[in-house]
């Protein structure tokens, strides 16, 4: 079942027609007013779950200091998702890389499919950064409390009666709040992720980097080390970095050295088929050498899926992934 709602262009056109004969200034004001009342732009219920295209006030753009103006944020809720007794909605936020869009990255990297296959009880959120540009900024998400404000608006929009009716059992009731937060990034998306670490306003449990560590290694080291020493008996913060390109290899080596100086143990030097499921689950800092091309690192060997399998998220559905947990992670290629 597919529901198509008015696009931004259609809304602006309808508003303009409705006020025909008035001044252009009045028309623009009316169009802006109509547009701001509609945050849900499109809904698609597929075989695996519900995908919602939103235009949010707290999306990265538009932003006063940047030319980008696309306010899109995409949210995917698997059909198997359920809000349980804790009323917490565990959330994965993914930052796309350079020369990309949220929609293209979601499809090409099979982000929805990997979350669904992991059977984890969580939702996926993909904000639109600079459209097909070489720009590391993510506008409002780079600002203090940007992630907190963003997650709050995402949650409130998902709780609208319209979406409750669409998603049925996988809907998000008004009493629910955001729970655990996992951030992932591909390529240039790492820069926005570091801003969220530094001052996003919401605690991050895990970080996944898919050929995405090009610098700012002290930010990641400080984030992991502070929690590592304060909560050594608990598995809370965790970082998994898949790396392939030469510049990324050097940055990963720097981060490994920095974590060593801070007394944080690491698992490194292993290829994708060498790390065990147990190590991927229990270790705090994991560095995996990928043989995949840069654009394929996050999906061709189910890297995101397996990070989620091994995560601290609370699974609702049973899985066989942990059978033979001491054996090397089995590589399963996606098409």
161 and 18 within one domain = no
Same domain, 119 and 18: no
Shared-domain flag, residues 25 and 79: no
**Tokens found for residue 53:** 């295209």
Alpha helices in 119-199, H assignment, sequence order: 146-158, 161-167, 190-199
Residue 179: CB atoms within 10 A of its CB come to 18
Return the closest-CA partner of residue 213 out of 241, 235, 236, 171. Answer: 241
Residue 47 lies in a domain: yes
In a domain, 322, yes or no: no
- What is the domain count for the chain? 2
Same domain, 5 and 133: no
pTM across the whole model: 0.87
334 located within any domain: no
Q: What is the pLDDT of residue 89?
A: 98
Please report the DSSP string for 70-125 in residue order: --EEEEEEETT----TT-EEEEEEEE--TT--HHHHHHHTTHHHHHHHHT-S-EEE
Q: What percent of the chain has pLDDT over 90?
A: 75
- What is the overall mean pLDDT for the chain? 88
Question: For residue range 253-264, what is the model confidence (pLDDT) as tens digits?
Answer: 999 999 999 999
In this predicted structure, the answer to whether residue 303 has a pLDDT above a threshold of 90 is yes
State the chain's maximal CA–CA distance in angstroms: 73
Instruction: Report the candidate in 265, 228, 241, 124 with the shortest Cα–Cα distance to residue 190.
Output: 241
Residue with tokens 């698992």: 267
Quick one: pLDDT band at residue 330, thresholds 50, 70, 90? confident
Which pLDDT band, with edges at 50, 70 and 90, does 266 fall under? Answer: very high
* 88 inside domain: yes
Does 225 have pLDDT greater than 80? yes
Contact 8, 55 (CB under 8 A): yes
Q: Is the pLDDT of residue 216 over 70?
A: yes
- 282 with 316: CB under 8 angstroms? no
Q: Check residue 314 and give its pLDDT.
A: 86
Which H or E run contains 305?
Answer: helix 303-309
Q: How far apart are CA 283 and CA 301, in angstroms?
A: 20
- 32 and 81 share a domain? no
Q: What is the pLDDT of residues 91-120, one digit of tens each?
A: 999 999 999 999 999 999 999 999 999 999
Element (H, E) at 8: helix 8-18
Q: What is the pLDDT of residue 287?
A: 97
d(CA 153, CA 302): 30
Whether 332 is in a domain gets the answer no
20 lies in some domain: yes
Q: Taking 70 as the threshold, does the pLDDT of residue 299 lie above it?
A: yes
Tell me: do 267 and 145 sit in the same domain: yes
User: For residue 312, which of 94, 120, 126, 75 has the smallest C-alpha distance?
Assistant: 120
Where residue 84 sits, what CATH number does that domain have?
3.40.50.1820
Domain assignment of residue 280, given as a range: 41-309
Q: Are residues 132 and 158 in the same domain?
A: yes
Query: Contact, 206 vs 247, CB < 8 A?
Result: no
Is 167 found in the same domain as 303?
yes
- Angle, CA of 248, 254 and 257, to the nearest 5°: 145
Of 296, 302, 306, 307, which Cα lies nearest the Cα of 334? 302
Distance, in Å, from the CA atom of 271 to the CA atom of 275, rounded to the nearest integer, reads: 7
Clarify whether residues 176 and 86 are in a common domain. yes
Residue 318 counted as domain residue? no
CB 90 within 8 A of CB 316: no
Span 308-335, average pLDDT: 87
The answer to whether residues 133 and 89 belong to one domain is yes
| Average pLDDT of the segment spanning 166-195 | 96
Between 234 and 289, the higher pLDDT residue: 289
Which residues touch 327 (CB under 8 Å, ≥6 apart)?
276, 277
The DSSP H or E segment spanning 207 is strand 206-210
Mean predicted confidence (pLDDT) in 193-206: 97
CB 96 within 8 A of CB 131: no
Same domain flag for 258 and 276? yes
Share of the chain above pLDDT 70, in %: 87
Are 73 and 197 found together in one domain?
yes
Tell which wins on pLDDT, 11 or 37: 37
Q: Say if 314 falls within a structural domain.
A: no
Alpha-carbon distance of 210 to 187, in angstroms, equals 7
């Amino acid at each position: 079942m597919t529901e198509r709602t008015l696009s931004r262009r259609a809304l602006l056109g309808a508003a303009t027609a409705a006020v025909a004969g008035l001044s252009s200034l009045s028309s623009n004001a009316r169009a802006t007013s109509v547009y701001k009342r509609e945050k849900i732009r499109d809904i698609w219920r597929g075989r695996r779950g519900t995908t919602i295209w939103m235009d949010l006030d707290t999306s990265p753009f538009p932003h006063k200091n940047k030319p980008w103006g696309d306010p899109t944020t995409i949210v995917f809720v698997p059909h198997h998702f359920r809000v349980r007794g804790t009323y917490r909605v565990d959330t994965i936020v993914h930052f796309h890389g350079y020369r990309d869009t949220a929609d293209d990255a979601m499809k090409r990297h099979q982000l929805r499919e990997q979350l669904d296959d992991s059977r984890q009880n969580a939702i996926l959120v993909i904000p639109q950064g600079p459209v097909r540009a070489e720009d590391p900024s993510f506008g409002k998400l780079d600002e203090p409390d940007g992630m907190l404000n963003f997650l709050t608006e995402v949650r409130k929009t998902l709780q609208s009666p319209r979406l409750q009716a669409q998603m049925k059992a996988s809907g998000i009731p008004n009493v629910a709040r955001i729970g655990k937060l996992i951030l992932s990034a591909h390529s240039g998306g790492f820069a926005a992720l570091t801003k969220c670490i530094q001052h996003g306003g919401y605690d991050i449990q895990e970080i996944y980097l898919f050929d995405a560590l090009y610098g700012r290694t002290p930010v990641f080291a400080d984030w992991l080390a502070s929690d590592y020493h304060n909560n050594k008996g608990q598995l809370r913060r965790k970082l998994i970095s898949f790396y392939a390109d030469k510049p990324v290899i050097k940055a990963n080596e720097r981060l490994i050295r920095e974590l060593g100086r801070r007394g944080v143990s690491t698992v490194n030097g292993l290829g994708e088929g060498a790390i065990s499921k147990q190590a991927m689950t229990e270790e705090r800092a994991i560095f995996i050498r990928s043989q995949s091309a840069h654009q394929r690192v996050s999906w061709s060997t189910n890297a995101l899926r397996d990070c989620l399998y091994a995560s601290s998220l609370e699974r609702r559905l049973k899985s066989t992934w942990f059978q033979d947990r001491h054996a090397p992670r089995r590589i399963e290629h996606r098409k």
